[in-house]
Amino acid sequence: MSTHSLTKAALRAEGLPRRRAVNRLMELLAWLAAALAVAILGIVVWSVARRGAGALNLDLLTKTPVQFSLVPVKQGLANAFAGSLVIVALATAMALPVGILVAVYLMEFARPALRTAVSLTLDVLNGVPAIVIGIFVYGLLVLGHGQSGYAGSFALACIMLPLVARSTMEVLALVPSSLREASLALGVPRWRTTLSIVLPQTIGGIVTGTVLAVARVAGETAPLLFVSSLVGTQVSWDPHHALQTVPVAIFELAESPDPADHTRAWAAALVLLIFILFASLGARWLATRSARRMSTAR
Amino acid sequence: MSSTDLTGDATRRPFTGRRVRFGDVSLQAVAGAAAAAATLLVFLIAYKVVRGAQPAIVRYGIHFVTRVAWDPVKNVYGAGSFLFGTAVTSLVALAIAAPLAIGIALFLTELAPRRLRAPVTALVETLAAIPSVVIGLWGILVLGPILRDHVEPALHGALGFIPLFGAPSTTGSSIFTAVVVLTIMILPIVASISRELFLGVPRDLKEGALALGTTRWEMVRGVVFPYARGGIAAALILGLGRAVGEAIAVTQVIGGGVGIHWNLFATGDTLASKIAASYQGAQSNIQLSSLVYLGLILLVFSLVMNASAQVIVRRTARRHGAPRGAAG
Amino acid sequence: MKRTLALAAAVFATAAAAGTATAPAAHTGTSLVGAGSTFVAPLVAQWTPAVASAYGYELQYSPIGSGGGINAVTGRTVDFGASDAPLSPDQFTACKGCAQIPWALSATSVIYNLNGVKNLLHMDGPTLAKIFAGQISSWDDAAIKKLNPGVSLPSQKIAVVHRSDNSGTTFNFTDYLSSASPAWKSATGTGVAVNWPAGTGAKGSSGVAAAVGQTPGGIGYVDVAYAKANHLKFLAMKNRSGKFTTPGLRGILAAATSDQKPDGTNALSIVNPPKKYPLAYPISTYTYVIVPLQSSKAADLKKFLFWAVTKGQAFGPRLLFQPIPKSVLVVAEKTIKQIHS
């Protein structure tokens, strides 16, 4: 329906009852679509909660898995939780400073053309499928050397980097230029201005971006399958060796035919989900709060 | 040029006669090194993937892309079966998710009562945050059995004359299950991007149409959709890219079959899911290299889709005149 | 409020860390990383705590299948690989200076699920080959009836289950079928993965065990340790001397006596032993550890492997692994001595 005929029909109120009916139908469909989305989320979260809650006990966090036993034995996923903590923490330590520095360079030093070009590559990096990152890190760090927690962290850091950089760039753009100009006018050196005046304004946004990136990679499985999956059953905090992680543990347990394994998988999924939801919603709440503060400060 | 650019230019020029501050230079150098490293990373990834695929490229050439075979015994490999799987699963999932996502976005921007908007938006974005391994777990243990025992036999019974709805799967793992899982995963992405687009439609355009007496739906069709057309295309491409790259949830529910079947209830594999399934157990160098070749094809796909989405976004931004920062 | 959130996060993290820290502490000694055969995984699982208390080594073993194990050690992403299928000349070349050492001895059992039918149903090689080729599709087929006079067999459809991943158990099983049935040898052959003419695939021994357990009329093959752990029924196989034998320690030992001399690459073939071993179970096999002869962890690897082929064998019988015979042990130790840094 062209704009012209639309206007004509509207002005003449032609066929109003039919048009109203079509409108009603579309509104109904939109409501249904939204209800469906909410329902899907509810179903998935409810499935995980119902099956996982029953199996959620201290054993999950304190006992290690048992690879083969002639009799049923109490087991848990302590090695996976420890490994995930180590690998995600290391990944954040790798990605956060680099991401902030990239954003600082692009927003404070780079010419607009360079800024566009580099942020384009950051977007490309963001679009690389996680499994290809796994192949990349396998070829770079694992082949010939063995798997390690460091390789796992590096892979996750590659995924986190564009997220951290982009969110830091967005917050840096929000800092009013008057602030920078005032500081420079007072004789504060460029680097001091950036580090002590501009960056502190962006802490809230950086934290939000980092928390969201952590929530994203805490559940990332594909790259870790290649670089940190040949693991033992003991709890280890040493990233020089391959460490078990929660998402890889869930992946392996899901494939097993043993219902006891499935129960542990649900429980681990529940813990993972709680952590991720907690982090995402918390970050979002933080973001709205600091955005509100920013806008009132201007 | 924004004011930041002006200030930037002014302060980048060192004061005449004064030596350049060591601190300024070091910060610029360190930050610049980080930016260079980030840029190089992308090229390094491409290089490593090509290198890993090289033995297979040398041995099978470009015919690998269309060959439908995966025989570890005779060492004959090809991507054809998995390209088909990727195409079917991603396109069907997009076809189902797109109208749903746009409906959700319209609901959130036009129809929802004020109080519902924030919570439902948060809920939709939370759906995006669920890790793929958890959706895969739910797919194997909950969705699969339901589809196998109720939905697939029903569809086969009602529509079995169409080759798409052939014999139901035996385990619940099938292309159909993978399609459902992918739909759930790309729904929130397309919905949130569409929602942001619809929010950006100028109010006076919308109110003008309504003032002329159009119904809400006609206003959406006549004003919102044409205005947001480019953005929606980009959102669809990004959703497609997500579906194409998804390895974990798909490999958990797709059943791992080779070959081109028209039956949606048969098992299959996509490029990404085949890599995830076979990488660990790969037994020869050439098999490993063929898997990396699959990864290379996947990488090329993602790059092309990413680039197209970017081009559309920038062209749309220019058309609408809004200054788009580097954040995109 | 931000402080509350931060506090909550800190509490959560501390709880998680405390919880995992109270778990059995990690051994601060060397870790030896291995991957491969699921066949030997039950035995390695018994070795792990023993080796830890004896030497302080932490064994990290991942049962990803024989094929994966060979590939992993070839790419030096692990310290040792494990495979039930001996390496081919091409694989030796690709591995660049690896040795294979027989370190355990057991058998593949053929499991089946038939309600109301006794355990240890009789079967022979040619009939089994026809079943797995899809040529015999019902349990009350004449050929099966002939082997089991007096047993009432239901007219249940046979549901064949095989391994979907690269498996040394598959290699052992298909090696036996090829030896017992020339038709199978020419049509399908031997391998860690073959083009199965019939049946559905399941991943891992546990996958096959589960699939057979859940499918009435199911038949599949798993290492006997899994059959025992899951209380599955298995077939008594007719060996070349005409006797029906089971995958117990006696049958495995008798099969092992049929080949006591490892060849140039330390491989042994004890599948379908000749007539003069009446007690032999015909689907027995050695399983090998694949090690690079030059390794940064040479000293630890040697200590571990020496322990495995001597003291470690004592853990075997409970899981139906027969301790390796003296003649093979001598060859194994000689090869282990060659590992250097």
The predicted complex's ipTM stands at 0.90
Which of B23, B39, B292 lies nearest to residue A191, judging by beta carbons?
A: B23
pLDDT at C17 over 60: no
Counting DSSP H helices and E strands in chain B, the numbers are: 14, 2
> What is the predicted pLDDT for the residue at B328?
37
CA dihedral B18, B19, B23, B27 (to 10 degrees): 100
> What is the predicted pLDDT for the residue at B242?
93
Instruction: Tell me the per-residue pLDDT of B173-218, one tens digit each, with 9 for 90 and over.
Output: 889 999 999 999 999 999 999 999 999 899 999 999 999 988 899 9
The C-alpha R_g of chain A, in whole angstroms, comes to: 25
CB contact under 8 A, B122 and A281: yes
Side-chain-side CA neighbours of C86 within 13 Å: the count stands at: 18
**A222 contact B CB<8A:** yes
Chain centroid to CA B75: how far? Answer: 32
**Element (DSSP H or E) covering residue B83:** helix B80-106
Which chain B residue has the Cα nearest residue C192? B73
CA pair distance A17, A22, nearest whole angstrom: 9
Q: Counting every residue, how long is chain A?
A: 298
Instruction: Tell me the per-residue pLDDT of C235-253, one tens digit each, with 9 for 90 and over.
Output: 999 999 999 999 999 999 9
Instruction: Tell me the per-residue pLDDT of B145-178, one tens digit each, with 9 for 90 and over.
Output: 899 889 988 988 888 888 888 888 777 888 999 9
- For the packed helices B175-199 and B225-245, what is the interaxial angle rounded to 10 degrees? 140
Q: Which residues 54-93 on chain C approach chain A with CB closer than 8 angstroms?
A: 58-64, 72, 75-79
Chain centroid to CA A255: how far? Answer: 25
Structure tokens at C21: 């820290």
Structure tokens at B228: 């947001």
Contact A53, A273 (CB under 8 A): no
C-chain residues within 8 Å CB-CB of B174?
A: none
CB contact under 8 A, C193 and B283: yes
The per-residue DSSP string of chain A comes to --HHHHHHHHHHTTTHHHHHHHHHHHHHHHHHHHHHHHHHHHHHHHHHHHHHHHH-SHHHHHPPP-S--SS------HHHHHHHHHHHHHHHHHHHHHHHHHHHIIIIIS-HHHHHHHHHHHHHHHHS-HHHHHHHHIIIIITTT---HHHHHHHHHHHHHHHHHHHHHHHHHHS-HHHHHHHHHTT--HHHIIIIIIHHHHHHHHHHHHHHHHHHHHT--HHHHHHS-S--SS----TTS----HHHHHHHHHHSS-HHHHHHHHHHHHHHHHHHHHHHHHHHHHHHHHHHHHHHH-
Furthest CA-CA distance within chain B: 87
Q: Of the candidates B164, B145, B165, which has an alpha carbon nearest to the alpha carbon of residue B155?
A: B165
Beta bridge partners of C21: none
Burial class (CB in 10 A: 0-12, 13-18, 19+), B66: exposed
CB contact under 8 A, B44 and A105: no
CA pair distance A167, A208, nearest whole angstrom: 8
Instruction: Tell me the per-residue pLDDT of C113-123, one tens digit each, with 9 for 90 and over.
Output: 998 888 899 99
Structure tokens at B69: 């075979």
Contact A241, A192 (CB under 8 A): no
Q: Which residues 228-247 on chain B approach chain A with CB closer than 8 angstroms?
A: 241, 244-247
pLDDT at A216 over 80: yes
pTM of the model: 0.86
Instruction: Tell me the per-residue pLDDT of C173-226, one tens digit each, with 9 for 90 and over.
Output: 999 999 999 999 998 889 888 888 888 888 888 888 888 888 889 999 999 988
Contact C188, C174 (CB under 8 A): yes
> What is the predicted pLDDT for the residue at A19?
87
More confident residue, B16 or C133: C133
Burial class (CB in 10 A: 0-12, 13-18, 19+), B318: exposed
CA pair distance B280, B287, nearest whole angstrom: 11
CA pair distance C250, B52, nearest whole angstrom: 48
